[in-house]
Amino acid sequence: MANFTVNRVETSPIEGQKPGTSGLRKKVKVFTQPHYLHNFVQSTFNALSAENVKGSTLVVSGDGRYYSKDAIQIIIKMAAANGVRRVWVGQNGLLSTPAVSAVVRERVGADGSKANGAFILTASHNPGGPNEDFGIKYNMGNGGPAPEGITDKIFENTKTIKEYFIAEGLPDVDISAIGVSNFSGPDGQFDVDVFDSSSDYVKLMKSIFDFQSIQKLITSPQFSFCYDALHGVAGAYAKRIFVEELGAKESSLLNCVPKQEDFGGGHPDPNLTYAKELVARMGLGKNPDSNPPEFGAAADGDADRNMILGKRFFVTPSDSVAIIAANAVQSIPYFSSGLKGVARSMPTSAALDVVAKSLNLKFFEVPTGWKFFGNLMDAGLCSVCGEESFGTGSDHIREKDGIWAVLAWLSILAHKNKDNLNGGTLVTVEDIVKQHWATFGRHYYTRYDYENVDAGAAKELMAHLVKLQSSISDVNETIKGIRSDVANVASADEFEYKDPVDGSISKHQGIRYLFEDGSRLVFRLSGTGSEGATIRLYIEQYEKDSSKTGRDSQEALAPLVEVALKLSKMQEFTGRSAPTVIT
């Protein structure tokens, strides 16, 4: 057993360590500055209550991006020096974000220990590599992201930090081999437990879904399947679950070897722009395959996001959560006794609202960011939730869950096809979505992103939009001058949320223009970028008439898009004549 001592290192505050929507995300070059990571980690320990540090159990892992391995060794040494009793590390430092949440909630150590919290090392869907992004966020004992009270405290601490503690004499731990290493320090024993990255998560998934019926679907010759991990950490889970447990062919996995620290040089974000290979394979985009599979899905770097595709068919994330909610009770054993409630983020389309109303479910509209769902779930108010930003999940954990979403869709397909797998006609993803629109109406939806625009210009654009809201009649006059075929604005505001559980208030959560026909325009600044500002424009229009739900969405939304761009003076403020990404 190696002995270590505690080294107190003098440091000083480093600017800009304010955690965003999902922790601190910066370029690797920023993170590798002397003391940068150390300051943030110590500031986090200092923000936690003593019992969550001294004698505690801490999970440390992530999506494996560049700098993760070094960061894990640093955090292990700082945890030891701060009196943490044991650190749990997924093999090779890999754990998807949903798996971290599952481990925190479910894993029990050999000695009966449970995790108090976790450092997740990821910048999610942002590219990785020496010139790209790294990130770190702290999750609490419920498996969910730290609430604002804690992240604010962390930030305050980063502004006054004078010292941090790090173990000296503690060797680097081999995180490639499963097993426990014991060390001894001033506070007594300290262990590092390297464990299999997928077994806790796989066990949880098996307790939620009917794997047998999904397997029947996946192995049926009538069905075909494709999954793209975009070189992210989802690959390890996809292989275990889709291939080993559910019988999918190995060839149905694309980019599922999470070995590259830079995600193969790609942008690991599952949308129609970045998941190019999958999109083509599914018969969409520029060079479509001629014989696409029935079902396709992709994940982001840390596997909490998902994109669902059918054969030549894209399911919007807003529709996806609505469809899962509408079918959960019949198709997913975990929900068989009913849903406690459903929730969506404000910019997500109102498709879920219509389902909630029709099924008489509790419904919540929260600001962007998964942490708001967590409070509802902890209070037993919400079972299924989702965001337009390709996040879908449930109260089985406190993070969104990319693989869970795929299993939910496979469960719905398996349920709808349980009598069709002996040669009947398969109910496809497209059929399910179109049937949903016929029942509930369709929310045409698109999002325009203007990435890396000048931060000052973005602020001015938002201020301009807020100013316009003081006179709705002037807004309507302007709109009539742009397009006469667009409905009137009924109200406009800046979204504000009062958490029904803890009463906390979140202001400035996006600028809304709500139209008389149910259409909406929403403008927000991204909270996850690492450079400049990203303006997001969300455009939505509700169509109840089932004879009109089959239009191309860009075409259906063209009038509203024109209004949005002119009303906001997008080009004038940003100099951009087109968005960087359209989803």
Q: Quick one: 302 or 395, whose CB is closer to Zn ion? A: 302
Q: Which residues touch 444 (CB under 8 Å, ≥6 apart)?
A: 540, 541, 542, 543, 551, 553, 556, 557
CA dist 296 and 316 (Å) reads 13
Measured from the CB of residue 378, what is the shortest distance to ligand G6P in angstroms? 17
CB atoms within 10 A of CB 201: 30
**Are the C-beta atoms of 105 and 131 separated by less than 8 Å?**
no
Partner from ligand G6P, Zn ion, none binding residue 389, C-beta < 5-8 Å depending on class: ligand G6P
CB atoms within 10 A of CB 262: 16
CB atoms within 10 A of CB 566: 16
Q: Quick one: 44 or 526, whose CB is closer to ligand G6P? A: 526
Q: Quick one: 320 or 345, whose CB is closer to ligand G6P? A: 345
22 binds ligand G6P (CB under 6 A): yes
The binder of ligand G6P chosen from 56, 181, 252, 526 (CB under 6 A): 526
Q: Quick one: 137 or 305, whose CB is closer to Zn ion? A: 305
Measured from the CB of residue 373, what is the shortest distance to ligand G6P in angstroms? 8
Residue nearest to Zn ion (CB): 124
**Are the C-beta atoms of 136 and 119 separated by less than 8 Å?**
yes
The binder of Zn ion chosen from 300, 319, 388, 540 (CB under 5 A): 300
Interaction pattern, residues 117-136, with Zn ion; x per rule: CB under 5 A: -------x------------
Measured from the CB of residue 401, what is the shortest distance to Zn ion in angstroms? 10
Q: Quick one: 96 or 220, whose CB is closer to Zn ion? A: 96
Partner from Zn ion, ligand G6P, none binding residue 300, C-beta < 5-8 Å depending on class: Zn ion
Partner from ligand G6P, Zn ion, none binding residue 536, C-beta < 5-8 Å depending on class: ligand G6P
**Are the C-beta atoms of 183 and 437 separated by less than 8 Å?**
no
119 binds ligand G6P (CB under 6 A): no
Measured from the CB of residue 388, what is the shortest distance to Zn ion in angstroms? 14
389 binds ligand G6P (CB under 6 A): yes
Provide the CA 252 distance to its chain's centre, in angstroms: 23
Q: How many residues belong to the site for ligand G6P (CB under 6 A)?
A: 14
Q: Quick one: 272 or 514, whose CB is closer to Zn ion? A: 272
Q: Which of 124, 197, 349, 519 is catalytic?
A: 124
Residue with tokens 């667009």: 486
Query: In 3D, which of 280, 285, 293, 272 has the Cα closest to residue 224?
Result: 293
Partner from Zn ion, ligand G6P, none binding residue 331, C-beta < 5-8 Å depending on class: none
Residue 430 vs residues 219, 298, 436, 547: alpha-carbon distances, Å? 20, 17, 10, 16
Q: How many residues belong to the site for Zn ion (CB under 5 A)?
A: 5
Q: Quick one: 289 or 451, whose CB is closer to Zn ion? A: 451
Backbone phi and psi for residue 35, each to the nearest 5 degrees, phi listed first: 70, -5
The binder of ligand G6P chosen from 127, 301, 391, 559 (CB under 6 A): 391
Measured from the CB of residue 124, what is the shortest distance to Zn ion in angstroms? 3
Q: In three state form, how does the secondary structure of 533-556 look?
A: EEEEEEEEEEECCHHHCCCCHHHH
Query: In 3D, which of 419, 345, 114, 390 has the Cα closest to residue 234?
Result: 390
The binder of Zn ion chosen from 200, 304, 401, 499 (CB under 5 A): 304
Of 274-282, 302-310, 371-379, 421-429, which segment contacts Zn ion by CB under 5 A? Answer: 302-310
Interaction pattern, residues 350-369, with ligand G6P; x per rule: CB under 6 A: ------------------xx
Residue with tokens 């292990």: 76
Task: Determine whether 318 is an active site residue.
Answer: no
Partner from ligand G6P, Zn ion, none binding residue 526, C-beta < 5-8 Å depending on class: ligand G6P
Between the CA atoms of 393, 394, 400 and 403, what dihedral angle is there, to the nearest 10 degrees? -60
Surface-to-core class of residue 79, CB atoms within 10 Å of its CB (0-12 exposed, 13-18 middle, 19+ buried): buried
Q: Quick one: 121 or 426, whose CB is closer to Zn ion? A: 121
Sheet containing strand 225-228, strands side by side? 253-254, 225-228, 295-299, 306-310, 313-315
CA dist 169 and 174 (Å) reads 15
Surface-to-core class of residue 506, CB atoms within 10 Å of its CB (0-12 exposed, 13-18 middle, 19+ buried): middle
Sheet containing strand 188-195, strands side by side? 2-3, 179-185, 188-195, 86-90, 57-62, 117-121, 133-139, 24-27
Residue nearest to ligand G6P (CB): 526
Partner from Zn ion, ligand G6P, none binding residue 44, C-beta < 5-8 Å depending on class: none
Partner from ligand G6P, Zn ion, none binding residue 302, C-beta < 5-8 Å depending on class: Zn ion
**Are the C-beta atoms of 255 and 265 separated by less than 8 Å?**
no
Q: Quick one: 198 or 528, whose CB is closer to ligand G6P? A: 528
302 binds Zn ion (CB under 5 A): yes
Joined together, the tokens standing for residue 520 give 């909406």
Residues that bind Zn ion (CB under 5 A): 124, 300, 302, 304-305
- Residues with active-site annotation: 124
Residues that bind ligand G6P (CB under 6 A): 21-22, 124, 345, 368-370, 387, 389, 391, 526-528, 536
